[in-house]
Every structure is written in C-alpha cells, then in structure tokens.
Amino acid sequence: MSPLFVHDADRSQRIGLPEAVFCASKTVDQLAAVLNALLAEGSRALLTRLAPEQHAALSDDLRRRLDYDPISRTAFLGPVAPPPGPPRVAVVTGGTGDQRVAEEAARTLAFHGEAVERHYDVGVAGLWRVLARREALARFPALIACAGMEGALFSVLGGLVPGLVVAVPVCSGYGVADGGRAALSSALASCAPGIVVVNIDNGYGAACAALRALRASAGR
Amino acid sequence: MSPLFVHDADRSQRIGLPEAVFCASKTVDQLAAVLNALLAEGSRALLTRLAPEQHAALSDDLRRRLDYDPISRTAFLGPVAPPPGPPRVAVVTGGTGDQRVAEEAARTLAFHGEAVERHYDVGVAGLWRVLARREALARFPALIACAGMEGALFSVLGGLVPGLVVAVPVCSGYGVADGGRAALSSALASCAPGIVVVNIDNGYGAACAALRALRASAGR
Amino acid sequence: MSPLFVHDADRSQRIGLPEAVFCASKTVDQLAAVLNALLAEGSRALLTRLAPEQHAALSDDLRRRLDYDPISRTAFLGPVAPPPGPPRVAVVTGGTGDQRVAEEAARTLAFHGEAVERHYDVGVAGLWRVLARREALARFPALIACAGMEGALFSVLGGLVPGLVVAVPVCSGYGVADGGRAALSSALASCAPGIVVVNIDNGYGAACAALRALRASAGR
Amino acid sequence: MSPLFVHDADRSQRIGLPEAVFCASKTVDQLAAVLNALLAEGSRALLTRLAPEQHAALSDDLRRRLDYDPISRTAFLGPVAPPPGPPRVAVVTGGTGDQRVAEEAARTLAFHGEAVERHYDVGVAGLWRVLARREALARFPALIACAGMEGALFSVLGGLVPGLVVAVPVCSGYGVADGGRAALSSALASCAPGIVVVNIDNGYGAACAALRALRASAGR
Amino acid sequence: MSPLFVHDADRSQRIGLPEAVFCASKTVDQLAAVLNALLAEGSRALLTRLAPEQHAALSDDLRRRLDYDPISRTAFLGPVAPPPGPPRVAVVTGGTGDQRVAEEAARTLAFHGEAVERHYDVGVAGLWRVLARREALARFPALIACAGMEGALFSVLGGLVPGLVVAVPVCSGYGVADGGRAALSSALASCAPGIVVVNIDNGYGAACAALRALRASAGR
Amino acid sequence: MSPLFVHDADRSQRIGLPEAVFCASKTVDQLAAVLNALLAEGSRALLTRLAPEQHAALSDDLRRRLDYDPISRTAFLGPVAPPPGPPRVAVVTGGTGDQRVAEEAARTLAFHGEAVERHYDVGVAGLWRVLARREALARFPALIACAGMEGALFSVLGGLVPGLVVAVPVCSGYGVADGGRAALSSALASCAPGIVVVNIDNGYGAACAALRALRASAGR
Amino acid sequence: MSPLFVHDADRSQRIGLPEAVFCASKTVDQLAAVLNALLAEGSRALLTRLAPEQHAALSDDLRRRLDYDPISRTAFLGPVAPPPGPPRVAVVTGGTGDQRVAEEAARTLAFHGEAVERHYDVGVAGLWRVLARREALARFPALIACAGMEGALFSVLGGLVPGLVVAVPVCSGYGVADGGRAALSSALASCAPGIVVVNIDNGYGAACAALRALRASAGR
Amino acid sequence: MSPLFVHDADRSQRIGLPEAVFCASKTVDQLAAVLNALLAEGSRALLTRLAPEQHAALSDDLRRRLDYDPISRTAFLGPVAPPPGPPRVAVVTGGTGDQRVAEEAARTLAFHGEAVERHYDVGVAGLWRVLARREALARFPALIACAGMEGALFSVLGGLVPGLVVAVPVCSGYGVADGGRAALSSALASCAPGIVVVNIDNGYGAACAALRALRASAGR
C-alpha cells in the first residue's frame, strides 16, 4: 500500500537538482527496487555512498547499467553528457585522505554537466603549494575545499580568492580530529569572511551548492 | 613597534570584500583606535557586534560619524550608496528571535550595495506561511535563512527553491536548543541538497557568502 | 540463589504492557534461559533487537516457537491475534533508512492488537509527499514519526495534524547526523507544539507510548 | 512590507492548539506589537516565558488585560473558562525546584480548559512518597512528570501507572546535572516502556502533548 | 634497560590491595611477559579484562596456572582461599546486560577473600523486585549496584538502605544510553545522598572501593 | 491540597541520614516555608547551598535560629553536639579554590557528629606537600579529596593510603577545566584502584558517603 | 592547624619556576593572606588572573607593593630586573581579542627575565601580514601564538618557522568558537608538525613552557 | 594534471623537519605511489601509522627498502645514522598500553638523529616508580610523557623536573577514559606550570616538538 520508495519526480523542476539515491543505509534488495523503479520511469539518477560490496552484490544486469567509480563511491544511472564548457568549479584538497570526498563532489558535478579543475594535496603545512596556485584559483566563481585534521586550508583559501568557497570537512585524522569535528568547527569559526560549510564528508552537498550558485546566477 | 591593528587594506581587491571590524571583544579604547586609523586612511568600514553600551561610550565625534543600528548591532563608517537595482537576496526568518541576525545580514548587504527582500516570521509550525511565498522566494539567486530552535525551516526552504540557501542557525531557544546547536546540526544534516551553513548567529558571514556568489557570477 | 531473570509478571496488570525481552546485550544462553522460563510460565512475549545471528543460533525448537521478522528484529513468542479494528496509529518515515525502526513500532503494536497504517518515504526534501497525505494523517489519534538526518519531518508533521505525534529519531546519516543526535535534538527543540520524543531508534518505546495513550483514553 | 509577526491564525483548527506567544527572546516593543495585533484580531492567547521584568515593562493598559502568574511566567490574554470536569491530567514533581515548570504545564492546561491534580515533591530519594500515591496516579490517562537532577522519578512512575507519562527534564542541580542534561538522558534512556519526553523545562510542550492525547481520543 | 613491566610490589602494604593486571590493551606477548614475571616473584595476581581470545592465545602452561572466568573476563593467578565468613557485600544488577560487570566485582572480591550475595535483575521498571529485598539489602555495610540505561536503580537503592552504595554505570543500551553515559550522569546527579560512583563498567574498581571501606573500618 | 514540601521524615531511620535542605533553587518564600515546617515538627536540619543573599533575606527570627557559615554556604537548624571522639575523616584539598567544597563536607560531617582533620593546599604540583603527610593520612578510614583543574591529587592520594578515598571534583579553573569536567573525568578514570567519585562540588554527598561507610562498619 | 596556603618554596629549585599565585578563585581575604605570607618570607611572586576589582579591593599598602597591569591581569610582587639580552621569544596574535592572553605570556616572561618581541594582529584572513614577517619570526627559538576563532594561525606559523611554537587557543568568538574550543581542537589537530598546545587562555603556561625550553637548552 | 602527492620538498629547510608520510588514510596504491615518488627524488622519509596489513600489502621491492617496526607502526625509507651523542630526550610512560605511542616518538627521534632514554611503566598509582627516577629525569632538556586513563603522570612529572615536558595523551582505557579524552583534558588543565600537549596518540608530533626545542636552542 505504502511504497517504500516515493520518487520526488519534480524535484528537478523545483530546485534544479534531480533526486539522488543515498545508498549507505539501504539493503541490496532496497537498492535494486529503487533502481528498477527509476529504470521503469526512464529517469537518470546519481547514486552516492554506494560501497563496492553493495555494487558487487547487485545483479549483473543492474551493474551493467551503472557507471560506477569506487573511489568516490558514486554511480551514474543513464547517460552523462560531457560538460559543454571549461571548468567553472575548482576542487581543492589538503591531503591524500581528502580525495574520496573531493571525487564525490567532482562526480556529482560531472553528472550535472559541470567540469571541475582539481587542485589536490595543497595543505597548509606547505603553504607555498596553495600560494603558487592563487591566481589560478582566484578565477573560479565557486571552489570546493576538502580538508580534514584542523582544516586551516579553509581560512587560507577564503582569504585568497573572491569566489564562493564551500568547505567540506573531511573525516580523517585521529584524537580530537576524529570524525572530522575539528575541521568542521574550524570551517564554521573561520576568520575569513563568507566561507560556507556542508556536513562532514558531504562532497555531494558541496557540489549541489555550487550548482545552485552557478545556475541561479546564470538564470538572471 | 607592533601596532595592535594591522589593516588588511587590500582585502577588498583580493576577495572582493573590505575588512570589517568585529567589535565584540574590543575595549572602547581599542575601538576608538581602530576607527581613528580607518578615518586617517579615509577608509569606509562596516562594524559588527557593536553593543549599544560600546556605541554609547564612544566620543561624540566618533558617534556622529557612524550610522548605527541597535537591532543588528552594526554601524557604517563612511557613505553607503543606495542599491543600484532590485533585491537579489531574500532574507527569511522563522520567528521574532531571529530578526537581529537577519538584520545583521541585511545591513551587511546594504553596506556592499545590495538590497534585500525580507520574509520574516514564516516558521515551519505554520507551514502555509512559507508555502504562500514559494513563488516569490524561488526567484532569488541567493537566500539567507535565519532560524533557531530545531531549524526545520532550512530543509523546507531548501526543498522549495533553486537558489543558493545560506542557513544561519540562531542562538535562541532553551534546553537542547540552547546556544543554537540544535539548529546548527539540523542545517548541516539537512535532507535538502545543497544547503550551506555558516556559524551560529553569523548574519555577517551569510551576507558575505551571498556577495561572493553574486559577484563571482557577475564577473564571468 | 539469585536467578538471572526475574520476570516482572504483573507488569501487564500494573501498566497495561507485558514485559518485553530486549535481546541486544544477551548471550544465546541467556536468551534460551529467558525463553524457556517464559514458556514454562505459559507467557506470551515480544522480543526486540533480536539479531539474525542470535536468532539463527537458537535451538530449532525455540526458533520454531518464534514468529521472527528480520527487518524489525522482533519476534513473537505465543499467539498474536489479528487486530480487532481499523488502524488507530499511523507510522510515518522520512526515508528508506528509517524503515527498520518503523517496523519495530508496527510489530510492537501488532503484538498488542493494534493495526497500523504505513506512510513511508515522505521526507521533507519533497514536501508534497507529506502534504498530499495531510488529511489522511489528520484522522489518527496517534502517529509515530521515524526520521534520521535533521528530523525536519517531526516539526512539519506536528504542524499539520492534531493527533499525538511520537517522534523517533533514527540513527542514520553521517557527520553531525551520526548516531541520530541531530534528529534527536531537532525533535526535542521542535517549534511545533506538543511533539513528544523517545530514545534514538526506539520504535518499541514509541509503540508503547501510543498504546498508553490509546488504552488510557479507552478506559475512561 | 514584511510584518514581524505573522499570526498562524488557523493553527487551532489544524492541530487543535492555538498559537502561543513565546516571550523569552522578544523585546518589550516586540511583545507590545504582538499583543496589540492579537487584541485587534480579538484573539485569546497564552503567553509563556514572560519574565517579571518584561511584564512590568508593558504599558498599564496591556498589563491590565493579562492574567499573569510570576511562578510559571505565563499570562492569559482573554477570558479563560473554568474546566468543565474533574482533572484528567496529573502533574507530578520531584522537588521544589521543579515547581515553576510544573506550573507552566498546569497553566497551559488551564488555558485550554483542562484541570490538573498536583502531586508535588514526591522525589525518589523518599520512595514512599510516590508509592503512597500509586493508586491515585494510576487513574489518570495522562501524567506530566517534572524532575531535575538524575530524573529517576520518570522511570519509577512509568513502572507504576498505565497512563501516558510525559517526562519534562528540569534544569536544576549542578555539576553533571547542570542544564538538565542528566535528567534528559535519563528520561530518554528509561527502562520503563512508553515514557515520552519533551525538551528541558518545556512545561508548555508537555501540556500540549497531553491535550493532543486527550482530544484525539475524545474525538474518536 | 627500561623493563616494560615494573611491578608495584609493595602496593599491597601501602593501600591494602595488590596490583592487578589490566589486560585489555596488552598483546599476548606482553601478557606472557607479565605473567612470567609474577610467577618468578611467586606473586598472586588478579587479571581483569582478559578476553577469551587473549586467554586462548596464551601457552598451555600459562593457561593451566590461571583460574579463568569468561563472563567476568577475570583470571586468578595463584591460590584463592574460600571467604572466611558470610557475605559482607551485596552485588545488585538492573538487568541481564549488567551481569558481566557485576561478576567482575564479585570475582575481585573473591580474590581478596570476601564473599558476596547476588541480587540480580531487580531493575526499577518492576519496582517490587527491589522493594521485596529491601530488608535483606539493608543489612549490608557495602553494596555494589550495576545498571545501564538510565540507572534509576542507583537512586532507588540509595534511598532504601544505609550501607555504602557504590554505583557502577554499565555500558549497555543504545541512543543516549550508548556507552553508559546516561547511567553515569544519573549516578553522579542522584538525589539519594551519599551514593558514590566509579567509571563505566568498572566492576573491579567498585570491589576495591568496597574492600577499602571494609578493611579500613575493620582496622580501627 | 498538595503541599510543596513533603518531609521525608523517616529517612534517618531508613538510611541513617536525615533529609537535608538543598537551598540553591528555592525562593526565600519557599525556604521560609520549609524552615517553619521543620521548626513546627521540632526537626533538626542541615541546609546546603544557602547563598549569603538568601540567608540575609530571611526574617530575623529565622536567621537567629540558624548557625550559618558563609564559606561552605551551610546552616544548621537546631543543636549540634560536639563530636564524641577524634577525627575519623580527613578532608584534603589541592588549592585555595577547593576550600568552599571541603568546608561543605566538613560542616556536613560536623552536623552528623563527626570531627574532621583538614589537610589543605597540598596539590600535586608541589608533590612533597602530600608526601610529607602520607603517614598521617594513611591512618584515616575515610578521606575526602577536593580538587579542581586536572584532579591529579585523586590518583596520587589513592596510591598512597588504604582508606576509602571519596573524590570531589571542584568547579574551578578555566578552558578545559571549566565547570570541573576535567577533574571529574580524571577522578573516574583514575589508575589508583578503588577511588570513588561524587558529583562536581558535592561536598555534602562526599560527607554522606563517608558517614555511610563509617556507620555501616560500626553497626556490624 | 592546617594553613590555607602552603607555599611550594623550593619549586624554583626543582623546576626552575617559582610558584605563581592564581587569583581567579580567591577572595580578597585569601589574596591578602597569601601576599602577606609571601612578604613575610621575602619572596618575589607573579600574580595571574588578578581582576581589576580584586586589585582595587586590596589595602593601599598591598596595592603599593604590586606592579599591576590591567590588560594582562598580572601583578609583580617584588623587584623585576630588565631582561639581560635581546628577545628570545616572539609573541604572535591573530587579532585584537587575543591581546590580553598574549600580554599574560609577555608579562610572565618579563617576570622571569626574558624580553619578548610582539607581532600582533597578523591573522590568517590577511595572510600577507604573517608572510611579511616570516624571516623575522624564523629567528626565534620559541614562539607563543595566541589565536581564537578557528586558530588557523597555528598551522600557518608552524609551517613557516623552525622554532618551538606554543599554541594558546583564545576564548573569543561565538557559536562553535565559543569558549575557545574550536581553536583548541584546531591547535591539537594541526597538520604542521611539532606544534604544542596549552589550555585555552593560558598565556602564563605558554610562557612557562618557553622558559623550560630556553633554560633547559641553556643548561646543557 | 593535478598530482595526488605534492612533495613539500623544502620543508626541511623551512622548519628543520622533512615531510613525513601519514599512512593511516592511504590505500596501498596511494602508498606505493608516494614511496616511488620519494625514491625517484632520492629522498629519505619517515612513514607513520603504517599498519602491518598495509606493510604486508606492499610489493616485495618496496618492503625491502623499508625499515619497519610493527609496534610503533613506523618505517624508515633510506639510511638512518646512529645518534651522534648521548640521549637528550627521555620518553616516559605510565603503563604497558602507552608503549606503542612512546615508540612512535622514539623512532621519530631516531630518524632525526636523536637517541632517547626510555623510562616505561612508571604510572602514578605506584608513585615510588617515578620518584626513584627523579634525578635521572631532571637532567633532560626535553621529556615526552605518554599516559592514558587519567594522565596524572603529566602533572607529577611536570612538578618534578625543569625540562620541557611534552604530554601525549594516549587512547587507552574505557568509559570516560575512552578515546584518550580524560588524559587530554588532564594534560591541558594540569596544575604543573609549563606542560605542553599534543594530540591524542601523537607520538610523532611530540618528537617533532622536542626536535624543534633542541635544534632551535642549538642554533643560537
């Protein structure tokens, strides 16, 4: 009577972003049901937090229809066109451990037709790495910064570039950095004006925020 | 030898936002010194968190040069031109207690030449209030939402409009809502995609984020 | 001398609810001992948090006497009569991840002779889903709402219906939503008047609360 | 253009509870504006968290129209009829410090036409006090229990009576009890089945929950 | 040069309690080294938090010298004499999940020559269970109470008996009870005067406290 | 109908400790009512957390009947006999800021007929201070240790003496020590076996615990 | 019998730092007693956290013997010689609000005969400010960095200079920065290797750490 | 285009410490890429948090080039010369569980050419153990103290020796000590002046701090 999955079919029209499928808390049966419903509708979809084990447990047929990336744990259902223009979003990371989150953002943007430029491993302990890229980074209307530990990258970046800086605290590190809480509070308390923050590890949300900013301005 | 106040004079050129003066932790002597330094430079400045008692304790001369608003606790030093066009930012609140934060955002935008449209007191407990404004709100490229208590407004708004939604958790309420923590975690954990968050009560930061989004897009 | 399990045999008479067996922290030997004691008394019982591995490790004989549901992790010992009338409780969820908790509530109500109506996957990001059901939901004297992430569903629901809304924060999500804390504080800080809350994931407790409300009123 | 106070005028029809005015974060000017708006509409209203200093600062005219109680910090605007029948709700406290919260609940119920029976100062350290009232308490369909410190009263009460027990953790005590957090977690983690919880000090919310339970059942 | 294990050989003389070996964070090699050092000295020892896997990984020879109990995860090295008199300590639990902690306390007391009387599964939800034992419990100079969830047992017991009540919060339950924090704050905030508390799950520490109380008083 | 103050008159008989009056959350009217009730009964009573302002606001008549000590904020109602023998409890502090809590313990013991020996200002930063008193301290069956900041005194003391050590974390210090939390977790996590803990600043509770230990042993 | 103040007279000999007097939790009477005891001994002393109100309440005679600085809230009792050489410690701050803590460090060093070089208001939002001083800062064997908000200054500094960087998180800011917790976790989680941290606002402790480093190395 | 690993090649020149490779959040492929890049440059490197499973999964060739220690989970890439002189750093632990962290510090120092003297298992519960070493420990310019549980060792040590004491809270213990938080707050709140703190389990950072202190002083 009450279906488990109620597709928010007009979300795209309402807010410019189609519904994505968050796979982390779904069983394989639930995933298959959702995918089949989307296929029946002929809908494209982005899947996030799809663990390799979940992906491997899907039927061959469903797996064949998915473009899966194990680093970002994302999959595309349906065709994804190449971006129509040059990158409008820079994705920046502090260290190697931030890559999976940065790639979730990059893949989300790719699904929505936006190219990104990657600036990885430019953490603050070696400040010259980010300073050397200042001019390049200052050209972007939107930047997604992913950093764990103490997240000093957010403030440094926010003080160097005029674009919208979306900070994604990353769950890496140990002790007080465990779970990404130190980076989260660092991002929220930043002394650089106008930095905005999404939930820990939420590369998907950061990409959606960048899309909101880009599309809304384009529409004016 | 080491001056107490080192003006970040080229900030405006670097990130499109001039330095603002955060007054909360400054003594009256420190405030006067900062204001005199800015006056000597002929710089305009925005002052935030200027408590009425601090304002009252300034010299008549300094007070005369400030355009002070006690609700938002902001002051303008130097001329502020009227906005050149119609509002590009909507400022939305859940209840009366959110007004002071919303006004800090609105005044910050005014200082930078942006008009806002106010949509106040449209909290979720009376859902019709925000639903009735959906079309109006959906036209804005950027929205600043201020809410305390459980912050459900952020998710409802994020599901209704395509613009960039900057959530400002407000320090109001009691018990688990005390200090704005419930609204903060609500904003960060929102099920609506692409909501971005600033620190509790940080109306100034939300306005700066909106400016980053608007200016960057304009510059392309 | 001191038995490990002291059955609270007259609990049903005292508070209208027989004792349930919380299985999470029990070894298989302890579970078997409790079940044998109940069987020896001829008592019916509801088992909660019975993991599939625990269930599988019970003897064939004990397993045969249990009506086990792996999604809700509940089991019935003894006969369960079909509900005598139409549903008096609605069980509502925000997303797929909330189903296991909602089913724990539904099964608990079934054990006590109450039917439920399920309204699943009506989260706030697609607000039309819950608005479309407003009239249906407004007819119920008691509603159990299960939601993780930011729990905005609780406030939206509480502002739409007159019945008793029991909010069950669900342990799903990541970052600040991890462990269900964001949804819990959201439920407690709700701006909708008269929402009540139970512990994170406590579908069983929410059902007991609904039973208390329904029975007490019936007895007047 | 955007009024500060948007009255949720049909809330009463929607959820059976008229809007109340939460005064804690309002200035005296804001309070006067809200009261005048309500008077202009001819609406009755309940005011909560109205501090004596706020009350004293209102105009004589407004003060004369309010029935103010300084212990519960509530005020009635408009007529309040005597309850039509015997008490259907028991209000129970652990100690003297819980009285102000209990009275907020009692006054809220009175405003909505429900009488209460007070059982005060029956904390668990002197267990005989609550045991002596067990029969009296077991007759109520709804009970509101207010307790600070460790909140053991909630579990003891929940194990003794069949009615709906709404636990209100109270912000009293010191050290780990400071702010009511110990009582809150105690209420949520209670071993007694079916206890429901509202925010710390939220006597108003507890009363609304009781009203939802009583009215919904009455309407069937 | 610096041995890894420096035996605090005169601890027994100093504080009346020989050193115990906390095994949780030790590798099997470290455990073997400690045991061999103690055997070489001819010292008796109590081992706590010895997991079954650790125990199984010891050499046959070492295992043969240990009296191991898997429920309490304790082992005796060397002879343990039967207690010389009747029990002077009561060990009380709220539910089945508290047994492992209670047994750690009981085994620690046995190692030091004290018998205990077990009163298990007398949680507050069925209050008659503890009330029925009030007289028996009131005879003990020291009681060790183990409870998880909300720990209401501590306050109820503390209000019923004159002996020293050592509360041991137990890490059981879920949501806000997770990790034993709710029971811990409940014990510390108790309204019953003179309850003392040890760390979560610290059955060993509770037994040592009882020994300190009993021995010190005996020595006067 | 329901008196605000229900005297737990037989508490003394039940647990060996008469009811005390915790004054912190009481108004002056409530205090006067309680005192008059106790006077009418002819009961002795100990008052704790009686602030100088509260004391000053009582009527002259009531004030005359109280033996008040502003440092410990305690008052005796009724006669207090001198202790019949030499001190059986040592009260130890780390620094000057712990004195008020230590004195609450000392006064509570005095009210119940026990003398104490004070060992103040022997914090661990100057370790010789406590080492010099080791023999004196080792003679006491019960010790009450009051310390703020990091509470290292608890572990040092617990490793030096055989008596029951009741740790009272004190709310002093700043930063992570603010509110006494660092000292509390230090006391609970102590490496010295058998230390027991009461709530932050709870000198009264520590004294009651010492009384329980002393009386219970005496009664055997 | 037990003096309230036990001077740790040989601390200087033991650890190279004389005892300081922490005034925050002392009454004026206690302060006067300590000062008189020190004067009687002919001891020099550093007083920290001496509030202007406390200072003003001392007798004229005591006040005359103190060299008091209201910004750092420190006072010197006894003569302080001018530093024998050039500064060996740099004190760095992010913003105006950090000055009081930086001055506590500077005054502590002055009391112990060390000069400092002040580099104030060089926060990360204007990165050029600290970059411009890199060479100057790199010459110091020890640096004390004081920063509130997100404390990004610690990591930036730690990546630029070879000296010992002692991070002092400052209690300034609001929301998640409130109380200095964001800066504290930032300092502890820093990606720059070898940064060390002291308690929030602990300028005194940072100075003592610098003295330990300088003196120990000098003694080799 | 954007390499995943950007070597901070001149870090050694800038801050006197070459970049180390933190392996915890890296995949085996990422590790191999980093090692090959370092080998191609001919750089020496220290690897930290290299789990045995990670080490085992590397190619034989890479494994052959690493000097791996499974207790400290560190590896040396490239030659490590024996220390040129006697130990200048003492590494002190409270118990067996602290050894892995202490060894991370010792190995980091060895990689940088510093010998250490180990003083292990000298926890405060047996105070004589550390007192017996006071003279030996007082000779060191820098000490690294590793302790879990309540971390009382930090304060005791800080009160006994003049050298720089770097406290490393260790993640051992259970209940309130879980995750090392009790030891961390203990270290930060210490009553012994001038103790400095690094993140929980950060033996590497403590060693870097000692190197900063030693080198900076040597360079003067």
DSSP string, E111-176: HTT--EEEE-S--GGGTHHHHTTHHHHHT-SEEEEEE-TT-HHHHHHHTT--SEEEEEE----SGG
> pLDDT at residue B200 above 90?
yes
- The rounded percent of chain F whose pLDDT value lies above 70 is 95
H or E segment at F30?
Answer: helix F28-41
In a domain, B82, yes or no: no
Structure-token pair, residue E115: 């018998």
**CB under 8 Å to A215, separation ≥6 — which residues?**
A16, B162
- How large is the average pLDDT for residues H180-195? 95
Q: Which of H50, H77, H104 is the last residue of a domain?
A: H77
Q: In what side-by-side order are the strands of the sheet with G142-147?
A: G116-119, G89-93, G142-147, G164-169, G196-197, H196-197, H164-169, H142-147, H89-93, H116-119
**Where in E35-141 does DSSP place strands (E)?**
45-48, 66-69, 74-77, 89-93, 116-119
pLDDT of residue F216: 62
Average pLDDT, chain H: 92
Q: Which of A132-136, D190-194, E4-8 has the lowest mean pLDDT?
A: E4-8
pLDDT of residue H215: 79
**3+ Cβ–Cβ pairs closer than 8 Å linking G and A:** yes
Confidence of residue E178 (pLDDT cuts 50, 70, 90): confident
User: Who among F194, F217, F219 is closest to E17 (CB)?
Assistant: F194
Q: CA D212 to CA D109: how far, in whole Å?
A: 11
Q: CA E155 to CA H95: how far, in whole Å?
A: 35
In a domain, H119, yes or no: yes
Beta bridge partners of A164: A142
Candidates B133, B165, B185, B188, partner chain C, best to mutate (most C CBs within 10 A): B185
Residue of B nearest to A181 (CA): B185
Q: Are strands B89-93 and B116-119 parallel, antiparallel or unpaired?
A: parallel
Question: Domains in chain E: how many in total?
Answer: 2
Same domain, G137 and G35: no
Confidence of residue E19 (pLDDT cuts 50, 70, 90): confident
Compute the Cα dihedral for A56, A57, A59, A62 and give only its sign. Answer: negative
Q: CA D117 to CA D90: how far, in whole Å?
A: 5
Same domain, C99 and C154: yes
The CATH number of whichever domain residue H158 belongs to comes to: 3.40.50.1970
Amino acid at A217: S
Residues of E in contact with F193 (CB under 8 A): 15, 17, 20, 204-205, 208
Shortest CA gap C159–chain A (Å):
22
In a domain, G6, yes or no: no
Confidence of residue H172 (pLDDT cuts 50, 70, 90): confident
Q: What does F117-132 look like in DSSP terms, one character per residue?
A: EEE-S--GGGTHHHHT
Same domain, C111 and C177: yes
**CB under 8 Å to B64, separation ≥6 — which residues?**
none
Q: Are strands G20-22 and G45-48 parallel, antiparallel or unpaired?
A: parallel
Q: Are strands G45-48 and G74-77 parallel, antiparallel or unpaired?
A: antiparallel
**CB under 8 Å to E133, separation ≥6 — which residues?**
E119, E122
- The rounded percent of chain E whose pLDDT value lies above 90 is 79
Same domain, B62 and B158: no
H contact chains, 3+ CB pairs < 8 A: A, E, F, G
CB distance from C45 to chain D under 8 Å? Answer: no
**3+ Cβ–Cβ pairs closer than 8 Å linking E and B:** no
Q: Count CB neighbours of A187 within 10 A.
A: 33
In a domain, B1, yes or no: no
Domain containing residue A125: 89-217
pLDDT of residue D215: 79
CB contact under 8 A, H155 and F125: yes
Q: Are strands A74-77 and A116-119 parallel, antiparallel or unpaired?
A: unpaired
G contact chains, 3+ CB pairs < 8 A: A, B, F, H
In a domain, H32, yes or no: yes
**Where in chain B does DSSP place strands (E)?**
20-22, 45-48, 66-69, 74-77, 89-93, 116-119, 142-147, 164-169, 196-197
> pLDDT at residue G101 above 60?
yes
Q: CA C31 to CA A117: how far, in whole Å?
A: 57
Candidates A1, A5, A7, A8, partner chain C, best to mutate (most C CBs within 10 A): A8
Confidence of residue C62 (pLDDT cuts 50, 70, 90): very high
Cα Rg of chain H, angstroms: 18
- How large is the average pLDDT for residues C53-70? 97
Same domain, F204 and F141: yes
E contact chains, 3+ CB pairs < 8 A: C, D, F, H
Same domain, E40 and E93: no
- The rounded percent of chain B whose pLDDT value lies above 70 is 95
Residue H98: which of H112, H78, H119 has the closest Cα?
H119
Please check whether residue F130 is in contact with residue F166, taking contact to mean a CB–CB distance below 8 angstroms.
no
CB distance from D177 to chain F under 8 Å? Answer: yes
Q: CA H131 to CA H135: how far, in whole Å?
A: 8
- The rounded percent of chain H whose pLDDT value lies above 70 is 95
In a domain, A83, yes or no: no
pLDDT of residue A12: 82
User: Who among C11, C26, C201 is closest to E175 (CB)?
Assistant: C201
Same domain, B111 and B208: yes
CB distance from A2 to chain C under 8 Å? Answer: yes
Same domain, F149 and F170: yes
Q: CA C149 to CA C166: how far, in whole Å?
A: 17
pLDDT of residue B28: 93
pLDDT of residue G40: 93
Q: CA D6 to CA D13: how far, in whole Å?
A: 17
Same domain, H151 and H50: no
In a domain, E31, yes or no: yes
Which own/partner pairs from E110-113 qualify as long-range (CB within 8 Å, at least 24 positions apart)?
Answer: E110/E80, E110/E83, E111/E46, E111/E74, E111/E76, E111/E80, E112/E17, E112/E207, E112/E211, E113/E81, E113/E83, E113/E84
Q: Count CB neighbours of G198 within 10 A.
A: 30
Amino acid at H178: D
Same domain, G97 and G195: yes
CB distance from G118 to chain B under 8 Å? Answer: yes
Residue found by looking up tokens 């800015």 in the block: B38
Candidates C96, C143, C201, partner chain A, best to mutate (most A CBs within 10 A): C96
Residues of F in contact with H149 (CB under 8 A): 189-191
pLDDT of residue G220: 39
Q: Which of H77, H101, H119 is the last residue of a domain?
A: H77
Amino acid at D23: C
Q: Count CB neighbours of E136 within 10 A.
A: 12
Q: CA F146 to CA F200: how far, in whole Å?
A: 9
Same domain, F112 and F18: no
Residue of H nearest to E10 (CA): H126
Q: Count CB neighbours of C138 within 10 A.
A: 17
Confidence of residue G84 (pLDDT cuts 50, 70, 90): confident
Please check whether residue F134 is in contact with residue F161, taking contact to mean a CB–CB distance below 8 angstroms.
yes
Average pLDDT, chain G: 92
pLDDT of residue F106: 98
CB contact under 8 A, B194 and A208: yes
pLDDT digits (tens, 9 = 90+) for H144-168: 999 999 999 999 999 999 999 999 9
Please check whether residue G201 is in contact with residue G125, taking contact to mean a CB–CB distance below 8 angstroms.
no
Confidence of residue H219 (pLDDT cuts 50, 70, 90): very low
Same domain, C73 and C105: no
Cα Rg of chain G, angstroms: 18
Compute the Cα dihedral for A29, A35, A38, A40 and give only its sign. Answer: negative
- State the alpha helices, DSSP H only, in A89-202: 99-111, 128-131, 134-138, 152-158, 181-188
How many CB contacts within 8 angstroms connect chain F with chain H? 119
Confidence of residue H220 (pLDDT cuts 50, 70, 90): very low
Residue of E nearest to C8 (CA): E126
**CB under 8 Å to C122, separation ≥6 — which residues?**
A6, C92, C93, C94, C129, C130, C133, C153
Confidence of residue A141 (pLDDT cuts 50, 70, 90): very high
pLDDT of residue B2: 52
Better-scored residue on pLDDT, F92 or C84: F92
Residues of A in contact with H11 (CB under 8 A): 125-126
Amino acid at B13: Q
**Coil, helix or strand for A208?**
helix
Give ipTM to 2 decimals. Answer: 0.94
pLDDT of residue F3: 58
Confidence of residue G3 (pLDDT cuts 50, 70, 90): low
Alpha-carbon F36 to chain mean position: 25
Q: Which of E21, E53, E77 is the last residue of a domain?
A: E77
How many Å from the N-terminal Cα to the C-terminal Cα in chain H? 43
Q: CA H105 to CA E30: how far, in whole Å?
A: 20
Q: CA C148 to CA C168: how far, in whole Å?
A: 8
- How large is the average pLDDT for residues H75-103? 94
In a domain, B31, yes or no: yes
